[in-house]
Structure 1
Amino acid sequence: MNEKSIGIIAEWNPFHLGHEYMVRSIREAYGNSFIMAVMSGPFVQRGEPALFDGWTRARWAVEGGVDTVFSFPVLSVLQSADRFAAYGVHLLASMGAHILAFGTESLEAEALLDAASFSLTPSHKEALHEALGEGLSYAEASYEAMKSHSPFLAEELSKPNNLLGFRYAETILQNHFPMTIHVVHRDMERNISASAAREELLHTGNTNLLPQKAQEEAAELMKSGCYTDFSRYSDACLLSSRLLSEKNLSETGLFSEGLEHKWFREIGNGDYETMLRAIKSKRYLYSRLKRIGAQLLLSAPGPSPFAAPPLPSYARLLALRRNRSEALNHIPLPIITSMARAYKKADKETRRSLEMDIRASDIRAWCQHSPLYRGGRQEFYHSPLIVNK
């Protein structure tokens, strides 16, 4: 394939007007180049199920200008932001992406590469360890270490999308991937966010923050009860924790610094959110606790596969623009279009990853608001969605 292949790491929970603007900007910069995305499927990085299923969200993205969307394995998704970024970059590099495109609040590609280059030096490592030794949290220590290089970059990297872009750039440099980065600045005046879209949908059943067709479909999904009921999810997380002993928690490998003991002490709470608030501290951020809860729910007792997952080794297709199907022949990784067929032939490592995807999908389905949509094993019945547009 002579044209450039552009990769996007996404959650699209859901795909909104800001995402559509980003894709349009990439098109304006690179014309008819092949745009492929790896997207969180049943669960998202913050540690909870997506509001809508992965196939629907992937189709909305293709209708919004992306050429194809692949599922980001849940083992890679439910990780800290830096590991999420690293797994995503590794996956797209393995798929042959030449350019990584993403949004930031302010920083340009050159500034992100400057920050990433410094982060890989002995000077940064020394400054980071010194700050950690003073009792600072990892985020605070990272800020101080970067400040020794550039106070401006340290301040700008406190913004979430700038920080994620920095992690992308860091992974590219660290692994010498032949990949450049393309930055699209977010529209900070309108500042459309997926969290605002979800909030509107959950409270009113509608939102004007999505492209027109997706907006209409989302309203129908909400009306029919085909969306994640987060109270059901919270109850499932609380129950799964209660079924584990303190020894079980220790054996998972998901906890550090004795956090499992505090977790165990609080599982008697009658409400999951109350439990998390009781555990939360300056060192144990809410986002980390949410991911641990999700990882415990998805894992069987014993060492958790989320503690040290392997790099993604396959590309599972969710949605594709019909007239770009030929480009799939140039992706080096095995492409999965049938879960049943792939699971049957998979090696042990791939099967374990697929098992977690199946389990994540089953749990998300169980959390649907309407019982009509709670059927399990959906991963075996869904084929990739082909969009004619």
Structure 2
Amino acid sequence: MKQKSIGIIAEWNPFHRGHEAMVQEVRARFDNAFIMAVMSGPFVQRGEPALFDSWTRARWAAERGVDAVFALPVLYALQSADHFASFGVKLLVSMGAKVISFGTESLDEDDLWEAASFSLTDTHQKAFHKSLKEGLSYARASYEAMKSHSPFLADELSKPNNLLGFRYAEAILRNHFPMEIYVVHRDMDHNISASETRKDLLLRGDGSLLPSRSAVEAESLMKSGHFTDFSRFEDACLLHARLLSEKELSETGLFTEGLEHKWFKEMGNTDYKTMLSAIKSKRYLYSRLKRLGAQLLLSGRGSSPFTAPPPPSYARLLALRREKSSALRNISLPVITSMARAMKEAGESTRLSLAMDIRAGDVQAWCQASPRFRDGRQEFYHSPVIVD
């Protein structure tokens, strides 16, 4: 009998004890299910490289109960929250997942379905666009539109995990996917955040918020310099911005409303953070600008593939629990275990997506704190990690 597949969309930057608790709850609820995750690889949605490499993060998840971890293509990972959620859901559905599970601060399944259903109505769309025309930011316009239906839901959707769960439910309804959602409520009294975990590691080399075995390894990685030095990434983004003309910026298709002119004007700043701060506005938030800079760096010159990523066409395996290897036969998409073979044999859209993942991996490797770990083309040298 075919196992039920439970999907998780994750970044695990890095995989901490809160993530472990969520996986354990999913396992308790769906005892015999195949738990598979699609995880952001070299880059994460916030617009920068992950702290640690993809295979290490994927292995930590597999060691703590996830059956298989697949790469979320960078073309999907470096998108706004609504598109990140939509592409992630589409990939999981294409792989055969019947349930998507995620954590929220407070909202449950019924709340999320209600909010998502209302967001797709004409009433919501009219209220949303009216607020935009009045000069409100995207987030504020969304809040005001939802508030016209439910002040409670509007307030609760200001919390990041509630909002992401809402985006997952919205993507399922918009595309008429036969997928259920299963909510795991975060322990807000003992909440662990990925940003707090990264801060502890970067400032003090302290991995105590990770599961014990991962914590020891994470602290060792920090000591050896095998982690992302974000100052190197920021310098790379600033340098790349200076090498492009206004016309070349416009030709990428990444800029709207003349933003490329402001970008070009401010690229002479002494550092990248100052440049983005000078461009930031009510309409263009810092987080959006960071993603734009990362997309620009990875795209190079010409039309950017981030403007219209291809639909899901493959599942690239990063880590697998050996006992669940037979479940790979039930994955609906071709499973990629060799980058070299895939780049030779795959179709054009798959090769385009994989080529961007290779480039993202090269940038992350270049940003490593120690020169010992800056070798390029790592995507070709790593096989999926098998966990016993």
User: What TM-score, normalized to structure 1?
Assistant: 0.99
Between the aligned partners of 1:144 and 1:193, the Cα distance in structure 2 is 28
**Deviation of the 1:312 alpha carbon:** 2.2
Residues 76 and 312 in structure 1, CA contact (< 8 A), matched pair in contact too? no
1:69: which partner in 2? 69
Deviation for aligned residue 1:84: 0.1
Q: Indicate the residue corresponding to 1:325 in structure 2.
A: 325
Q: Partners of 1:194 and 1:386 in 2: how far apart? A: 25
* 1:75-224 correspondence runs (5 A): 75-224=75-224
Q: C-alpha distance in 2, partners of 1:87/1:292? A: 18
The Cα offsets for residues 146-170 of structure 1, whole Å up to 9 and x where unpaired, read as 1111111011111111011001001
Aligned to 1:35: 35
Over 3 Å off, 4+ runs: none
**Corresponding position of 2:258:** 258
1:100: Cα distance to partner?
0.3
2:50 is matched with: 50
Secondary structure of 1:172 counterpart: helix
Contact 2:70–2:317 (CA<8 Å) still a contact in 1? yes
Whole-angstrom CA distance in 1 between matches of 2:246 and 2:252: 10
Letter in 1 for 2:47: G
Partner of 2:15: 15
Aligned equivalent of 2:315:
315
Q: Does 1:248 align with 2:230?
A: no
CA distance in 2, matches of 1:84, 1:233: 22
Cα distance in 1 between the residues matched to 2:365 and 2:286: 24
Question: In 2, are the aligned partners of 1:73 and 1:312 still within 8 Å (CA)?
Answer: no
> SS of the counterpart of 1:69?
strand
| Aligned alpha-carbon RMSD (Å) | 0.8
* Residue pairs, 1:359-374, within 5 angstroms: 359-374=359-374
Question: What's the CA shift for 1:117?
Answer: 0.6
Shift of 1:4: 1.6
1:70–1:318 Cα contact (<8 Å) kept: yes
Tell me how far apart the structure 1 counterparts of residues 175 and 349 of structure 2 sit (CA, whole Å): 23
Aligned to 1:24: 24
Tell me how many residue pairs correspond in the alignment: 388
Aligned to 1:189, the other structure's residue is in SS state helix
Report what 2:295 is aligned to. 295
Instruction: Check whether the contact 2:38–2:70 (CA below 8 A) recurs between aligned residues.
Output: yes
1:348 Cα deviation (Å)?
A: 1.5
Is 1:387 aligned with 2:387? yes
Deviation for aligned residue 1:32: 2.4
Contact 2:13 2:194 in 1 (8 A): yes
Separation in structure 1 between the aligned mates of residue 162 and residue 311 of structure 2, nearest angstrom: 24
In the alignment, the residues of structure 2 paired with residue 281 and residue 356 of structure 1 have an alpha-carbon distance, to the nearest angstrom, of: 29
CA distance in 2, matches of 1:380, 1:145: 47
Can you give the 5+ residue segments of structure 1 that lack an aligned partner in the other structure?
A: none
Aligned-partner Cα distance in 1 for 2:76–2:233? 20
Look up the equivalent residue of 1:308 and give its one-letter code: A
| Deviation by residue 1:319-356 (Cα, 9 ceiling, x = unmatched) | 00000000000011010000000000122211111110
Q: Which residue of 2 aligns with 1:283?
A: 283
Structure 2, unaligned runs of 5 or more: none
Contact persistence 2:58–2:69 (CA under 8 A): yes
Distance in 2 (CA, whole Å) between partners of 1:115 and 1:133 is: 23
Q: d(CA) in 2 for partners of 1:66 and 1:348?
A: 31
In the other structure, the counterpart of 2:239 is 239
Q: Is the 8 A contact 2:103 2:185 kept in 1?
A: yes
Instruction: Say whether the 8 Å CA contact 2:86–2:171 is kept in structure 1.
Output: yes
Q: Match of 1:343? A: 343
* 1-structure distance, mates of 2:329, 2:347: 22
Aligned 8 A contact 1:7 1:92 in 2: yes
Percent identical among aligned pairs is 72
CA distance in 2, matches of 1:306, 1:34: 31
Which whole-Å CA distance do the structure 2 matches of 1:302 and 1:102 have between them?
A: 37
Partner Cα distance (2:79, 2:312) in 1: 13
Q: Give the 3-state SS of the residue equivalent to 1:129 in structure 2.
A: helix
TM-score, structure 2 as length reference: 0.99
Offset of 1:2 from its aligned partner? 2.9
C-alpha separation between the residues in 2 aligned to 1:126 and 1:285? Answer: 23
1:123 is displaced (CA, Å) by 1.1
Contact 1:112 1:166 in 2 (8 A): yes
Q: Deviations over 1:46-99 (max 9, x none)?
A: 000000000000000001110000000000100000000000000000000011
Counterpart-to-counterpart distance in 1, 2:284 and 2:125: 23
